[in-house]
Structure 1
Amino acid sequence: MRVLLTSWGSRGDVEPLAGLAVALRELGAEARVAAPPDEEFRVLLERAGVPLVPLGPTVASIVVRPKPPTHADAFRLAPELVTARFETLLPAAEDCELVLATGLMPAGARDVAEKLGIRYRLACFHTLGLPSRHFPPGARPGKQSAEGETDNRVLWRQDAERVNALYGEALNRHRAELGLPPVDDVRGHVLGDRPMLAADPLLWPGQDRTDLELEQTGAWILPDTRPLPDGLAEFLDAGEPPVYVGFGSMAAFAPKDIARVATEAGRALGRRVLLASGWAGLTAIDEAEDCFVVGDVNQQALFPRVAAVVHHGGAGTTQAAARAGAPQLVVPRIADQPSWAARVAELGIGTAHPDPEPTVESLSAALAGALAPAVRERAATVAGTIRHDGAQVAARLLLDGADRPA
């Protein structure tokens, strides 16, 4: 069986697909990944032995800017990605039996599967984009709901209108070119009947947060056997476990001056600091030996050796820290991050910073809470309950459904 996995988004949207592709390969299937052509993703997929089909522009070209993308940028990007999916996925999926899509609203992926007569599944790493009578939708570019509107049914209907405004014209134009009928509800069309939720059931209890029926598998983890770099290993061995600080792919979304704020907050508590440069480009503020800067690193090997993980609350980092039993301090910025921060605090495995722009004083206080012995003990306990087989569960589900009609 051949499977095409596709996403457009940050590393947190691409790495799980690499993990799923490896699990599919172990069961005898052949998987390829259509994803943004960023060098980081190419190296990641090459390490996993998974073919990369370049899809659309690089993510870095959109987010690594002095200022975050605007609503106008979103209305330019959305049709560009729809076009890229039709142009890229049609030939890439021609010999496949299944297309699985995730990442930024993958309008176009289901349509390619429909044209080819093959199966389609939508996967997500949280439920914030899935309609729910219990929760309002997250922010999305476009005409906003009236101030004071609280009826979730109304809010989700208006969210669907915003999705149509972003993607509908381009999607239906390309569908018409392929002889397919128009779609009047892009969001519902993309989500399908039963989305897969690739998140740990304890960290994100999905079925309670959406009206859709889900197939929750646990997180899709790509095994990482890389050794820690020599300089980092020496730094870890030279003293007490440091505080890790990383904001992943946040780039322009990272808190202002976060490297200085985090370093001084760690020092105020007598802690060494390990900065992950990431797309935000975190660098040391001086030449003191109590701070070390690292690039892409094996978090599975690193996180069990740190005192705490300070991060933005992305799904991947949250679950990696939880699996390692490392206390967390989440400084959420956008999208699903506040929800992950709230769950970390609710479970007692870390703390959530009260606002997105920390000061030395506020970060020190929140970090002190995360470093409390009771939090470390609770984090270790929860780590023993986190699933490690999500990718294998998902792979089996996909292959077991191979004989179902498209």
Structure 2
Amino acid sequence: MPSPASQNTPPPPSLYQPSDSPKDILIIAIGSYGDVFPLLHLASTLQSTGHHITFATRPGYKHLANDAGVPFTPLGDDELFEEMAGDPDLWHPTKGPLLIIDKAIPNLLQPVYNLTEKHYKTSGNNLIVLTPALGMGARIARQKYPFRLVMTQLQPLLFQSVHAPYRASHAIPDLTRLPKLIRVPVTHTLYYFLNKYTDRLMFPVVNPFISNHGLDTVKRNFFASWIHSPDINLALFPEAFCPAQPDWPPHTHHIGFPPFELDLGKPFTAKLQSFLDKHSAADQKPLLFTPGSENRHAQTFFQSALAATQNLDRPAIFATQFTEHLPYPPKQLPEHVLHVPYAPFAKLLPHCAAIIHHGGIGTTARAITTATPQLIMPLSHDQPDNASRVRRLDIGDYLPPKKFTPRRLSQKLDYLLTKPRIAGNCKQIAEIINRQTITPDRLDQLTTQ
């Protein structure tokens, strides 16, 4: 049910211009590479269909928009991002979400609201705003102004359903395994208390801001319903990864995993290409280890990774921008391990035997679409739910952080690398999911009509 706040939301413009008439589209991206790349793909695609795009994200990502040929405007500041990314609590299963509520959301409300309002006053009803859940300043502006709001939900975790409950933590049993007669009432009860708890956290942060703008505050179900758009919601993942459910918000459409990464047309560095050429045999393809593009506290992850590669006699690639958490400086790593600060995974993964990662939706998606087995060490946020979905599809597995030891990591990897069933499933699921990627014309239609 919609919250009372949405009942007074002005309707979107009832008559839109034909699809061949350009719209002014503001696209807001918040987070790390895995959060920004999908929105940048949407920006590039919608620009190619003739619309006027403004891509808003933190100043430090201006080069991404420039490389994609998309007009850029700064949103927020890099200092807040760096402060949060450097805080080890960001990766804690309970402290991480609280850190976002306490720091990120309060500091983003006003900039996002102001930017949205500025664009509406310039473009009027020709404005369309695409934003993820963290861009809730735009959701608040939608209560005041009748532009078209497109919520871009990157993760299945953002959709509550008693029929297919998400898994927010591995401390909670996988409720999807329960019989339906038990699963539905149990999940309904858990969601009831979860929403009560999250409402108590969010209302002091968001409602004063809403009230200061003369709008109706949110009374209940902040994350269950209010966070979704009254106009249209795009699920940036395919049906095969998370099917639509009857209790999802209305006007929700799957668009698949956006297939955008930088530098896909550029060659690998000479060092990386040489390493891949040396280890091109099927039984010697390297293992790719990455703890996430902004994870700066992965010492244990890489220590276990190095030991496991030695146990399995496998070459490996350690992908991270932050060399201080590697077991040794990059030039002192063993010969069978190569460090790279960055490489486009969509291009690199076909050369790898498996990827071991944190379970962010971007990395998970790239592994799936390239038919690469994956082993996930989920930490927080949507990662436990993504990891559980990978296991259910039988295209990989996960190890909680406390079990991410060299012995267990070696055992899991040996299983994933030697079972033909896993490789077959990865190939089959990749073929299905790659067919579920939205076409530019369909994206244009969903976004603008």
The residue aligned with 1:47 is 67
Aligned to 1:162: 201
Structure 1 residue 281: Cα displacement: 5.5
Matched, 1:269 2:269: no
**How many angstroms does 1:211 deviate by?**
3.4
Separation of aligned partners in 2, 1:120 and 1:149 = 30
8 Å CA contact retained: 1:330, 1:351: yes
Residues 181 and 383 of structure 1, relative CA distance in 2, 3 Å threshold: closer
Query: d(CA) in 2 for partners of 1:60 and 1:400?
Result: 31
> Aligned residue for 1:77?
104
State the secondary structure of the residue aligned to 1:390: coil
Measured at CA, do residues 171 and 369 of structure 1 come closer, stay the same or move farther in structure 2, by a change above 3 Å? farther
Is 2:167–2:388's contact at 8 Å kept on the other side of the alignment? no
How far did residue 46 of structure 1 move?
Answer: 1.7
C-alpha distance in structure 2 between counterparts of 1:55 and 1:11, whole Å: 15
Cα 1:282–1:99 change in 2 (3 A) is: same
Greater RCO (CA < 8 Å, at least 6 residues apart): 2
SS at match of 2:448: coil
Aligned with residue 301 of structure 2, among 243, 258, 266: 258
| 2:255 corresponds to 1:217 | yes
Shift of 1:318: 0.8
Whether 1:63 aligns to 2:100 is no
* Structure 1 segment 129-278 matched on structure 2, within 5 A: 129-134=158-163, 135=165, 138=168, 151-158=189-196, 159-173=198-212, 175-176=213-214, 180-185=215-220, 186-187=222-223, 188-193=225-230, 194-207=232-245, 210-213=247-250, 214-222=252-260, 224-239=264-279, 240-252=284-296, 254-278=297-321
Tell me the distance in 1 between the aligned counterparts of 2:66 and 2:351: 27
| 2:299–2:326 Cα contact (<8 Å) kept | no
Task: Compute the RMSD of aligned alpha carbons.
Answer: 2.8
Q: Determine if the alignment matches structure 1 residue 378 to structure 2 residue 378.
A: no
Residues of 2 paired with 1:233 and 1:31: CA distance? 36
Matches within 5 A, 1:247-396: 247-252=291-296, 254-278=297-321, 282-283=325-326, 285=328, 286-356=332-402, 358-374=404-420, 375-387=422-434, 390=437, 392=439, 396=442
SS in 1 for 2:70: coil
- Inter-partner Cα distance in structure 2 for 1:257 and 1:153: 34
The alignment's TM-score, normalised by the length of structure 2, stands at 0.77
In 2 relative to 1, CA 136–332 (structure 1 residues): closer, same or farther, beyond 3 Å?
closer
Partner of 1:143: none
The percentage of aligned residue pairs carrying the same residue is 23
The superposition leaves residues 275-319 of structure 1 with CA deviations (integer Å, 9 ceiling, x where unpaired) of 001468553634321110111211111000001100111111111
User: Which runs of 5 or more structure 1 residues have no equivalent in the other structure?
Assistant: 140-147
SS at match of 1:108: helix
Distance 1:32-1:391 versus aligned 2 partners, 3 A rule: farther
Pairing 1:98–2:128 present: yes
Unmatched runs of 5 consecutive residues or more in structure 2: 1-22, 170-185
- How many equivalent pairs are there? 385
Select between 312-321 and 185-194 the one with higher mean Cα deviation: 185-194
* Alpha carbons 1:128, 1:336 under 8 Å: kept: yes
Q: Kindly report which structure 2 residues correspond to 1:104-115, keeping only aligned pairs within 5 A, or say none.
A: 104=134, 106-115=135-144
* Aligned partner letter, 1:190: I
Distance verdict in 2 for CA 1:373–1:207, change over 3 Å: same
Q: Secondary structure of the residue that 2:44 maps to in structure 1? A: helix
CA–CA separation in structure 2 for the residues paired with 1:318 and 1:149? 26
Cα distance per residue 1:337-363 (max 9 Å; x no partner): 112112222222112114455111111
Q: Which moved more, 1:262-271 or 1:378-387?
A: 378-387
Cα offset, 1:399, TM superposition: 3.7
Cα distance change of structure 1 residues 339 and 138 upon mapping to structure 2, 3 Å threshold: closer
Contact 1:6 1:102 in 2 (8 A): yes
SS of residue in 1 equivalent to 2:29: strand
Query: Which residue pairs with 1:25 in the alignment?
Result: 47
Change (3 A) 1:401 1:231: closer
Q: What does residue 124 of structure 1 align with?
A: 153
AA at the equivalent of 2:243:
P
Q: Deviations over 1:187-217 (max 9, x none)?
A: 4333124421010221222437x53232111
- Corresponding residue number in structure 1 for 2:7: none
Whole-angstrom distance in 2 between the partners of 1:86 and 1:76 = 17
Q: Relative to 1, partners in 2 of residues 1:220 and 1:86: Cα closer, same or farther, differing over 3 Å?
A: same
Instruction: Measure the CA separation in 2 of the matches of 1:271 and 1:152.
Output: 44
- 1:182 shift after superposition: 4.1
The answer to whether the Cα contact below 8 Å between 2:150 and 2:447 also exists between their aligned partners in 1 is no
Cα 1:162/1:111, change in 2 over 3 Å: same
Letter in structure 2 aligned against 1:89: T
Pair 163,350 (structure 1): closer, same or farther in 2 beyond 3 Å: same
Secondary structure of the equivalent of 1:251? coil
Whose helix fraction is larger, Structure 1's or Structure 2's? 2
